[in-house]
Amino acid sequence: MTSMLHILVIDDEPQVQRAMHTILAKRGYKVTTASDGEEGLALAATSEPDIIILDLGLPDMDGVEVCARLREWTQCPIIVLSVRDSERDKVAAFEKGADDYLTKPFGIEEMLARIGVALRHSTSRQSGMPNKLIRAGALTIDLTWHLVKREGREVKLTPTEYKLLAYLAANEGRVHTHQNILTQVWGQEGMDHPEYLRVYMRQLRKKLEADPENPQYIITESGIGYRFISDE
Amino acid sequence: MKFITMKIPPFVYTLYQFLLVGGLMMIVSMGFEALRYELDNTLIALLYLIPVGLITAFWGFGPGITSAMTAFIAFNYFFMLPHYALAVHYPADIVILTVFLIVAVVISQLVGRMKASLLAANTREQEALQLYELSIALTGVHNEHDVVQILAKEAQAVLQAEHVKLNITGTESFSFHFPDRYVPSRPAELTLPIQTARNFLGEILLWKVASTIPSMEKRLLQTFASQGALALERARLAQSEAQAQVLKESDHLKSVLLSSVSHELRTPLFTIKAASSSLRGDDVVWDSHERVELIEAIDDEADHLNMLVGNLLDMSRIESGSLQPRREWNVLSEIVGSVAARMRYSMNGHTLEVNVPDTFPLVPVDYVQMEQVFTNLVSNGLKYAPVNTAICICANIEDDMLHVQVSNQGTQVPSEHLERIFDKFYRAAATERVTGIGLGLSICRGIIEAHGGRIWAENLLDGLAFKFTLPLSWDGTLSPQIPMDIETE
């Protein structure tokens, strides 16, 4: 192993630090822990982590603020941890540049999957070679030719539907907040109309999903936004 | 006369009366003069006492004295020798004149005083009546705002004021205006404190177009203010008593909660502790199957604990009134779909049937809270209905209201308990095997009511149905139209 991937965990609970350290070190990551925002910011600057796991409830400063200050100088992926019913905080963290979130308590497989997605995105961003052909189950989305196929047959989408799908698929695995999607797809006008997204999402799922009520490709993140799940 | 007394200022009034009384006495004197040769002077003097008495009785002391003086002069002028001159020939006439003057003045004094005291008694009776009406109106009013409103209205009506304003100080300071919000630009003509022996409660300001406000009105307003102060204090006492009652109840609720919660939290903790300490101990060697079983128990119970804590948090949010729905236009089938997808793993044996047309209009609800409602209602079915039965979610629209039904094939609830199952910590009897702290349904009720809807339970032929309604309009508007585009070739 030439270089171990380095994870910085910023969480004030000693038990959480200990558990994360044990679990992640066992899986071959190098783990550094910080107990508050200031220490976390300092360690992020000196130890150059590959990924940062940041608890939003820190004793010394607001986790969203830590997120904003990190984003002033680093593109390192940030996964925020928070408790249930704090959708506002999560959405605020996304606005300040967080990449993903986990709601405490969470399963470790879930955390590892999120770490995987975040790392994949940071490498593809660094290499500057975004994936142009996305596969997800029976779906293929060709972002170059604007072509969507399901089980080999083309799916006819309206321009808005395609825009919505393409935006989510190009950033597969990641959560996009409602506001983020609305401005990307509908521009400024979309900001005040979350219902646009709800209605188009219903149509898109009807065209793509085998069971639109139980979607496999575009997952609803309650109170936050949507996430596209690809095969990768 | 009433018309005149109301319109004419005091000075003109006296002058007018003076002339009127003088004129009347003149006419009477003319009448008497016609009788001069038939009647003796002493009789005429007696007759003069009649108009003097009557005038005093009708118009009071001042006009009475005026009439007495006029009578004195007229008697002297017309009836005493020499006639038609203010002079007296016989000394006996002087006696008659003097006696007449004294008697006339005394009569008018007496009658006038009686008249004045009658007037005063009338006024006092009027005041007493108005005070009585005020105190009747204030009886049984236990709200500060109502007290202030009644006080202002009564004061304005009784004193015929242009405007009345009450400034109330206290924990919650406020002002009340009557009859409208418009306050005259000049300072108030009369300002009186509203206070009891112990406290200053505020002040009453009165605007009235008048050069001076009579002391009687001031006194009346003063009495009003003290009546109002008493009523206000009573209202405040009643309020703090009610608060004390609420505190007492919530205290009781807290102790119920603590005992219920500690029991419920301890059960999963016991399982976790037992399983983890078993795995940790080195006295027994567990085979892989046993290990997996113990680990699964820990995992399940951790989830269970998480759910309990979540319910407690939700409940405290509903109780504190901080559970404000963040409404957006949502697709109902998406909400139900995501709940169904998430619960698929905990169904063990039950089936979930969903019948929510995706052609429904958008519904103005908080997505996350509605997910919570469906999750709790379905979980309730999972807990109470036997395995291999179905749980159904269906919805329809009637009269601009969304009607949703979540039914299960579990045991029916006696009709007298149908309402109570939504109460906090209420658990249907004979369900010892079922875990939970009885908060799921009361959380549903809290959320639905915060959305302006209603939730209730009904027994079905083969089970139990939870039904709720939600308004389809939001601030008076129905589901918005979405600009749609079309597929291009």
The residue to which tokens 């001159």 are assigned: B85
When pLDDT is cut at 50, 70 and 90, the band that residue A21 belongs to is: very high
Q: Which residues contact B256 (CB under 8 A, 6 or more apart)?
A: B425
Q: Does A137 touch chain B (CB under 8 A)?
A: no
CA distance B162 to chain A (A): 49
Q: What is the DSSP letter of B89?
A: -
Q: DSSP alpha helices (H): ranges in B281-344?
A: 288-319, 332-343
ipTM: 0.85
Distances (CA, A) of B13 to A5, B1, B61: 108, 11, 14
User: Which residue in A84, A87, A158 is closest to B485 by CB distance?
Assistant: A158
Are B274 and B295 spatial neighbours (Cβ–Cβ below 8 Å)?
no
Identify the closest residue of chain B to A195 by CA–CA distance: B329
Three-state secondary structure along B379-420?
HHHHHHCCCCCEEEEEEEEECCEEEEEEEECCCCCCHHHCCH
Which amino acid, residue A31? V
Give the one of A156, A199, A214 whose C-beta lies nearest to B482's C-beta.
A199
Can you give the pLDDT of all 489 residues of chain B as single tens digits? 343 444 445 555 677 878 888 888 888 888 888 887 887 877 888 888 888 888 887 877 778 888 888 888 888 888 877 778 777 777 777 787 788 788 888 887 888 788 888 888 988 888 888 888 888 888 878 888 888 888 888 888 888 888 888 888 887 788 888 888 778 888 888 888 888 888 888 888 888 887 777 888 888 888 888 888 888 888 888 888 888 988 888 888 777 777 777 777 888 899 899 999 988 887 888 888 989 999 988 988 898 888 888 888 888 888 787 778 889 999 999 999 889 888 887 777 889 999 988 788 899 999 989 999 999 999 888 888 888 899 999 999 988 899 999 999 988 888 888 888 888 777 665 555 555 667 888 889 999 999 999 999 999 988 899 999 999 988 888 888 888 887 765
Angle at A146 between CA A143 and CA A147, to 5 degrees: 100
Task: Record the tokens describing residue B435, joined without a space.
Answer: 């875990």
Nearest CA in chain A to B480: A195
Instruction: Please indicate if any CB of chain B lies within 8 Å of the CB of A206.
Output: yes
Sign of CA dihedral A35, A36, A37, A41: negative
Instruction: Give dist(CA A157, CA A148) in Å, integer.
Output: 8
Positive or negative torsion for Cα B36, B38, B41, B46: negative
Q: Render pLDDT for A39-90 as a digit per residue (tens, 0 to 9).
A: 999 999 999 899 999 999 899 999 999 999 999 999 899 999 988 667 888 8
Residue of A189, A197, A199, A207 to mutate, interface with B, max B Cβ within 10 Å: A199
Q: In three state form, how does the secondary structure of chain A look?
A: CCCCCEEEEECCCHHHHHHHHHHHHHCCCEEEEECCHHHHHHHHHHHCCCEEEEECECCCCEHHHHHHHHHCCCCCCEEEEEECCCHHHHHHHHHCCCCEEEEECCCHHHHHHHHHHHHHHHHHHHHCCCCCEEEECCEEEECCCCEEEECCEECCCCHHHHHHHHHHHHCCCCEEEHHHHHHHHHHHHHHHCHHHHHHHHHHHHHHHCCCCCCCCCEEEECCCEEEECCCC
Q: What is the pLDDT of residue A129?
A: 66
Q: Which residues on chain B place their C-beta less than 8 Å from a C-beta of chain A?
A: 302, 306, 310, 313-314, 317, 328-331, 333-334, 336-338, 340-341, 344, 354, 358, 362, 367-368, 371, 480, 482-488
Q: What residue of A is the nearest CA neighbor of B337?
A: A213
- Pick from A120, A127, A151, A148: nearest CA to A137: A151
Select from A159, A160, A222 the Cβ nearest to the Cβ of B368. Answer: A222
Q: Is the Cα dihedral A143, A96, A70, A174 positive or negative?
A: negative
Closest residue to B485, CB basis, from A105, A160, A195 = A160
Whether residue A49 has a cis bond before it, omega within 30° of 0: no
- What is the number of CB-based contacts under 8 A between chain A and chain B? 73
Tokens 């109502």 -> residue: B146
B307 token code pair:
């759910």
* Residue A27 CA: distances (Å) to CA of A39, B53, B115: 25, 121, 110
Give the count of alpha carbons within 13 A of B361, CB side only. Answer: 18
pLDDT of residue B431: 52
| Best mutation target, A164, A198, A227, to test chain B (most B CBs within 10 A) | A198
Q: What 3-state class would DSSP assign to B166? A: strand
Q: What is the pLDDT of residues A103-159, one digit of tens each?
A: 888 888 889 999 998 888 888 777 766 678 889 999 999 988 899 999 989 999 999
Instruction: Please give the mean pLDDT across all residues of chain A.
Output: 89
B437 Cβ contact partners less than 8 Å away, ≥ 6 residues apart:
B260, B261, B264, B308, B311, B312, B425
The shortest C-alpha distance from A85 to chain B (Å) reads 9
Q: CA A158: distance to chain centroid?
A: 26
Distance from CA of A215 to the nearest CA of B (A): 8
**Average of per-residue pLDDT across A175-201:** 91
Mutation site, B328, B342, B360, interface A, largest A CB count within 10 A = B328
* Pairing assessment for the beta strands A100-104 and A78-83 based on DSSP bridges: parallel
